[in-house]
Chain A
Amino acid sequence: MALSASVVAGLQHLLGPAGVVLTREGRLTYESDMLTLYKGMPDAVVLPTSTEEVQAVVRICREARVPVVPRGSGTGLIGGATAPQGGVMVSMTRMTRILELDLANRCATVQPGLINLWLTNAVRDRGWFFAPDPSSQMVSSIGGNVATNAGGPHCLKYGITTNHVLGLEMVIGTGEVVSVGGKAADRPGYDLTGTMVGNEGTFGLVTAITVRLLHLPEAVKTALASFASLVEASEAVSAIIAAGIIPAALEMLDDAMIGAVNAAVGKVYPDGAGAVLLIELDGPRAEVEAQAERVAAICRERQALMVTVARDETERALLWKGRKEAAGAVGRITAAYLLQDAVVPRSKLPQIMREMVAISKRHRLLFANVFHAGDGNLHPLICYDDRKPGELERAQQANEELLHACIALGGSVSGEHGIGMDKAKNLPLQYAEADLNFMFRLRRVFDPDGLMNPAKLLPSHPACGEGFRPARPTLPAGTWV
């Protein structure tokens, strides 16, 4: 659907020629996020610089009933920042200012386009950091992190994005600017801040974010333990958590990933291991020392082949190098892959790993694992060759089977990437019709016209449509007539 001349003129008048991308070549960059399976080119891309401009864009689009799709850095993994129904994509890349740093009150207010790591870079020398650290933090925007409620390796101890968001300013689907939450504790009323985080642009566009900053810990200690198999490594993870230790990060790589990483960046992990655990502890020095000893002992009890503790920052960086380069290193072992993000209760890790091995054998596909083991958040890369007929379909089938297995163990369809276009169809696995219907109605409050990032997050399901009536309790019949 092409935009009407009046909408184009309105956007250009508002933002100037440099603020509106209309050419096909220009828009091509915006047709998908990092999950390139889903493509949808917007009819126009706009680059506002202020809340007022964002609001004006939404009002123009609303009047013309044109879809509005927000986009940060486009590093999402769910087909969220793509425009399957066309419309106007609002890129936040010109809204990158830190509006306020208030270290006395441990918080900062930023524009949505600010890159995650830039915030930490701005406060690190004064001893502070912004805790949510998705692997994309060098390039992903805080607005995008808020939209997807992003996680990251250190979320095991520190919590995900929502635990660090104190307030938001948002242009909602009605075209209103709404400010919610803020620096001060305990606002009365519904927790709209918490409700808005993770909305994936379906309620509207976040234009400012107040976040909590944390003080850097006194000490950080990183250890690497290798195991003969994924199952044994998973048992060690469960044992560490069960012992009452919550590491800052607890990451696992399997043999396929170890091989890829070692080939790409040099031998950082021991060859021949079935799995390695990267364990990071942070906090007061004495606590870190005591817990590191306990963690090493647990790994040895669980038949670790080897336990190494980094002695200095250089060794620590080396241990993390493999983890951080993993996504890039995968190119050495496969042409293409599907990335699963489901969660299982952490005590079920050994069980899901056994099932994963079985699924991989059944479909004759290589699974490479690099994931947040501490919170049970899986990230298997299901490798396939798109030049071989049928392999993508087999990979998709294996992906679905794994997802079903996770839900059957009491898990969740997404731990940190979100739903977008990719997993909307899977939500009914986790939620009953009444639950889906509640979410549909909540969305409609913020976006009554269905124009904000349409076709994302909720499935096309009767429960997510007008007029659906969930089953009500049976009342005693005839007892009082």
Chain B
Amino acid sequence: MVVTTPALGGALRAIVGTEHLHEGGAPVDGAAPRWTAAPATIEQAAALVALAHDERLAVVPRGSGAALELGHPPTRVDLVLDTRRLDAVLEYNPDDLTVSVQAGCTAGALAARLAGRRQILPLDPPGWAARSLGGIAATQASGPLRQRYGTMRDLLLGVRFAQADGVLTWGGAKVVKSVSGYDVPKLMVGALGTLGVLLELTLRLHPAPDHEATWLASFRTPAHAQDCVAALLDSTVQTNRLEVLDGRVLAACSLPVSAAALAISIATVEPAVRAQEGLVKAIVQRAPGAVQTMGASFWKTYDRALAGFDGVTLRIGTVPARLVETLGAVQAVLPGAAVAGAAGLGALRALVTHADVSVLLPPLERLRATVGEVGGGVTVERAPRALRERLDPWGPVPAAALAVMRAIKTEFDPRGVLNPGRFVGRL
């Protein structure tokens, strides 16, 4: 059946109710949607997707809106599916260290709920508290705690999503250990909603450590910082967070500026924190570096400095042993950039203030070439649309792997309903 635009609006309205269907709505990446719908239930969400599928509308899922500039600019935005009303904590099993939430639940709201039982979901990308968990999953966003706990891919046990034709589908399990069938949750993490609109997540929790102590180690050269990272990794110290901060990020945190610094935290029972403090300080001093004990508020300051940054954000994936080369490459091609990130994993962020597109293009390609030597890459996490129109925000993906990704997308979303054009290879 072919329906006209006003009639389609009526159908969408019939699904979510008059107050929750708007003509237009907040633009996504500069593109104004035809409608914005905020479902109250996952069944409503699935019905919206089903209708969009039948009427060949492009659906753009939206959580907190923190990561809407990730990826290629969307080719079409017909219906924004706003998940913010799907914010329930569905089932919290503290004795199992698991929780099931709706995708619109924010990490901050969940943290508040878990605090009463001294448990955490250790996912802390910049500005994490306001971000929706569905959005963190779809964008595979991560922060300092990944040093110890991994990322969403390690914590997502089960997922419910609406496929491109609206079929509600579940993958994974609600228990902490399961190998029953394919690992569908892994496929959904970082897929930017292009294979399904994420609606419910079952997550593995961790006990909140009794005590956390943080030190800032300052170095005269990035090479000393890298030596310190290597020594920490090759030791029995169990770091909780291990972030490298360059001079500009230090300044943004109102800290004394050095060529490079490491923010190192240990979190466990208090006697073990104290026992490891000596080891950490000895390793830093040998690098050589200077140690300063930080207050508990440091990580909030750091989070605010990264989240509050206004400009172009690049995600750099490399390896820990290439810290110096990577920091050097960023400085060489983007002299104004600030760099910080998980030093022990080679997961960095570069923050660039000047957003002049023509100036940025060549350096990005040169940076990609350097990081690419170890198989790493540079993803444009946030940038003005004009920049992302002129370069591939994801960077190259090997042809054979991209062919498989394309085949998966074609199998599950042949009509291009879900976030069309935004993912790698414009899938």
Q: Could you write out 6 A-B pairs with CB less than 8 Å apart? A: A183-B374, A183-B375, A372-B177, A430-B173, A442-B411, A473-B46
CA distance A180 to B165 in the complex (A): 28
- Residue in contact with A197 in the complex, picked from B183, B230, B317, CB distance below 8 Å: B183
Which chain A residues lie closer than 8 Å to B208 at the CB level? 244
Expressed in whole angstroms, the minimum distance between the Cβ of A240 and any Cβ of chain B is 11
Stretch at the interface among A272-280, A342-350, A385-393: A342-350
Using a CB–CB distance below 8 Å, which chain A residues touch chain B? Answer: 102-106, 127, 148-149, 151, 155, 159-160, 162-163, 172, 176-180, 182-195, 197-199, 215-218, 238, 241-242, 244-246, 283-287, 289-291, 343-347, 372, 375-377, 410-419, 423, 427, 430-432, 434-436, 438-439, 441-446, 457-458, 470-476, 479-481
In this assembly, does B403 line the interface, its C-beta being within 8 Å of a C-beta of chain A?
yes
Inter-chain contact A190/B183, CB cutoff 8 Å: no
Which chain A residues lie closer than 8 Å to B412 at the CB level? 438, 441
Inter-chain contact B8/A480, CB cutoff 8 Å: yes
Stretch at the interface among B269-277, B297-305, B352-360: B269-277
Inter-chain contact A191/B377, CB cutoff 8 Å: no
Select from chain B the residue with minimum beta-carbon distance to A418.
B179
CA distance A253 to B118 in the complex (A): 30
Interface residues of B in 373-404 (CB under 8 A from A): 374-377, 379, 394-395, 397-398, 400-404
Q: A185-B345, A345-B93 are in contact. Are A105 and B177 (CB under 8 A)?
A: no
In this assembly, does B104 line the interface, its C-beta being within 8 Å of a C-beta of chain A?
no
In this assembly, does B26 line the interface, its C-beta being within 8 Å of a C-beta of chain A?
no
Question: Of B236, B276, B346, B404, which is in contact with the most chain A CB atoms at under 10 Å from its CB?
Answer: B404
Which chain A residues lie closer than 8 Å to B14 at the CB level? 476, 479-480
6 closest residue pairs by CB, A with B: A194-B186, A244-B207, A184-B376, A218-B236, A186-B317, A287-B272
Inter-chain contact A199/B182, CB cutoff 8 Å: yes
In this assembly, does B421 line the interface, its C-beta being within 8 Å of a C-beta of chain A?
no
- Residue in contact with A185 in the complex, picked from B178, B276, B342, B405, CB distance below 8 Å: B342
- Residue in contact with A151 in the complex, picked from B93, B163, B179, CB distance below 8 Å: B179
Which chain B residues lie closer than 8 Å to A446 at the CB level? 404
Chain B residues touching A, majority SS? mixed
Expressed in whole angstroms, the minimum distance between the Cβ of B95 and any Cβ of chain A is 4
Total contacts A to B, CB within 8 angstroms?
A: 303
Using a CB–CB distance below 8 Å, which chain B residues touch chain A? Answer: 1, 3, 7-8, 10-11, 14-15, 43, 46-47, 49-51, 54, 93-98, 118-119, 140, 142, 150, 153-154, 163, 165-171, 173-184, 186-187, 189-191, 195, 206-208, 230, 233-238, 268-269, 271-272, 274-276, 315, 317-321, 342, 345-347, 371, 374-377, 379, 394-395, 397-398, 400-405, 407-408, 411-412, 423-425
Expressed in whole angstroms, the minimum distance between the Cβ of B384 and any Cβ of chain A is 20
Inter-chain contact B398/A179, CB cutoff 8 Å: yes
Inter-chain contact B47/A343, CB cutoff 8 Å: no
Q: A179-B401, A345-B175 are in contact. Are A285 and B181 (CB under 8 A)?
A: no
CA distance A376 to B94 in the complex (A): 14
Select from chain B the residue with minimum beta-carbon distance to A163.
B154
Q: A242-B95, A284-B276, A476-B11 are in contact. Are A186 and B167 (CB under 8 A)?
A: no
Inter-chain contact A194/B269, CB cutoff 8 Å: no
Known contacts A287-B272, A472-B50; 11 additional CB pairs below 8 A are: A105-B319, A151-B177, A162-B186, A179-B400, A183-B374, A190-B187, A216-B236, A241-B96, A286-B272, A419-B180, A438-B171
